[in-house]
Amino acid sequence: MQDSRSYTGNSMMWFSKNYKGYTSDVSRAHVFTKEEAIKQNKFRSTDIPWPTWYIDAHTQPTVDHQRVNIKDALSAIDIQLAPKEANRHSYRCEKCGRFVSALGAYSGSYGCVKCS
């Protein structure tokens, strides 16, 4: 039973097993009988019954970024990440060509002291 009032990212929301909240993980979703599904949809029209065979055919595994920690994962196999590169974007004044900050470049003024 989908709760169509909201989504998590691009994932549909489902009633959790035993009606304990909602989940985007179909393996944790409550499976309604046909009668339960019809009754729930009549109670709240935004709760939409889907056949399990149809949803199972359109399900794909995903990884929730909130449940993983790269430092923990890589420390277990003794790998260290390379340092992140500095932001390499550079912005120039549209009039004189001097380098300006990103804020200056997008602020609507030309962003440099000489041309402002």
Mean pLDDT by 10 residues, the chain (116 residues): 91 91 94 95 95 94 84 86 73 77 65 69
Burial class (CB in 10 A: 0-12, 13-18, 19+), 51: exposed
Check residue 8 and give its pLDDT: 87
pTM over 0.75: no
Q: How far is it, in rounded angstroms, from Cα 111 to Cα 53? A: 58
Element at 54 (helix H, strand E) = helix 52-57
Element at 99 (helix H, strand E) = strand 99-100
Q: Token pair for residue 108?
A: 């609507």
Burial class (CB in 10 A: 0-12, 13-18, 19+), 26: middle
Check residue 40 and give its pLDDT: 94
